[in-house]
Amino acid sequence: MPTYSCLVRGGVVSAMLKNRWRLIRRAKMAELPDLQGRHFLVTGCAQGSLGYATALQLLTHGAVVAITVRCNCNAIADALRQQLPACFHKNIYAFNLDLSQYASVETFVGGYKATGLALDVLINNAGIHLDLMSKWASPQRSADGFEIQWRVNYLGTAHLTWRLLPLLQVSAAQSGDSRVVSVVSQLYKRGLNSEFENPQRPYNSWNAYGQSKLALVHLTDSIDQHYAECGVTSYCLHPGAVYTNVAGKGLANSGVVELVRNAMAPLEKLLLKSPAQGAQTQLFCATAPKERLVSGKYYCDRRQVPISPQMRDSLVAEQLWFNLQRWVEEYTAA
């Protein structure tokens, strides 16, 4: 995720310099194989995003890539084509998708299936962090009543994943290798397992964001538990501190602070990862040989790192999985 929060919460110089040092030490990009014949779906592909950078790299290596954005998908597809040789233009498929709306997910899934495209790898990149200044005194809600970050980052993403698992199973039966890759954040540590069923904490948008990302960690575990044996593996990851468009959206109504950020943009671009650099771990999880990966695990800088022990809870993961199925069934029946 983009971490402009460093600027507004202190420690900016030390955080940025430390991150830049890590970039210097780990500047090597992921080595992608020839991806001809592999089909990927990448959500959240607005220009300047991790998703856009991910899609571009996959396309450059011969993959067929479906991209999603909330609106103006054809404009994004055209922008990608301008950066690619003509022989790859036919490999781009573009869809509008709003993860905050049940109907939008269902429409997208129907549209994707109608193309006849296979699906080998789903990259759940889309996400929002809308209140970087912690101004919200109460939750901002989706049209169907959910806290908006939970609705997009977890519930919409999990709904999409659930609907696409049958396609992933078909591909796994043919190739033995289908994957779900979910972009989380080290801020999953702000979530609490106890808050899923019995929320007690006063509302804080940063905690809500962390809660949504912790749920994605559990989703990764559940997919591994239920589908790894049939060839569908799952991974989640922290991309690092990246200069993308998401921080700007989180500061859109912050007046002077937004002006300060714009003034400091050159420094941020120097010291934070570029989208292309930030995309390396999700590209690694999506394309590396399976023997280099462990399904159900969490990655950072193209390496497996341990999840905080207090966050691991198989019972919570299973309850979230059950609740997801029940919610989809009830919504469909309504």
Does 81 fall in a domain? yes
The confidence score (pLDDT) of residue 1 equals 42
Does 4 fall in a domain? no
How far apart CA 48 and CA 61 sit, in angstroms, is 20
Bridge-based pairing of strands 64-69 and 232-238 is: unpaired
The confidence score (pLDDT) of residue 332 equals 87
**Nearest in space to 272 (alpha carbons), one of 42, 7, 45, 32:** 7
21 pLDDT band, cuts 50/70/90, is low
253 pLDDT band, cuts 50/70/90, is low
DSSP string computed for 70-137 = SS-HHHHHHHHHHTS-GGGGGGEEEEE--TT-HHHHHHHHHHHHHHT---SEEEE-------TT---S
Mean pLDDT (whole number) for 47-73: 98
Structural domain boundaries, residue 226: 12-18+36-333
How far apart CA 313 and CA 52 sit, in angstroms, is 33
Judge whether residue 252 has pLDDT over 60.
no
Question: Are 50 and 242 spatial neighbours (Cβ–Cβ below 8 Å)?
Answer: yes
Q: Which two tokens stand for residue 125?
A: 């990149």
How far apart CA 73 and CA 254 sit, in angstroms, is 28
Q: In the predicted model, what is the mean pLDDT of the chain?
A: 89
Q: How many Å is the Cα radius of gyration of the chain?
A: 19
Does 26 fall in a domain? no
Question: Are 273 and 23 spatial neighbours (Cβ–Cβ below 8 Å)?
Answer: yes
Mean pLDDT (whole number) for 61-82: 98
Q: What is the pLDDT of residues 224-243, one digit of tens each?
A: 999 999 999 999 999 988 87
Judge whether residue 10 has pLDDT over 70.
no
Does 301 fall in a domain? yes
Does 6 fall in a domain? no
Q: What percentage of the chain carries pLDDT values higher than 70?
A: 83
Least confident of 25-39, 87-101, 181-195, 312-326: 25-39
The confidence score (pLDDT) of residue 151 equals 98
The confidence score (pLDDT) of residue 316 equals 97
- pLDDT: which is higher, 28 or 291: 291
DSSP 8-state code for residue 314: H
C-beta atoms surrounding 182 within 10 Å: 28
The confidence score (pLDDT) of residue 260 equals 52
Mean pLDDT (whole number) for 241-249: 64
Does 24 fall in a domain? no
Domain at 306, CATH number = 3.40.50.720
- Give the number of domains in the chain: 1
Does 3 fall in a domain? no
Does 27 fall in a domain? no
The confidence score (pLDDT) of residue 15 equals 59
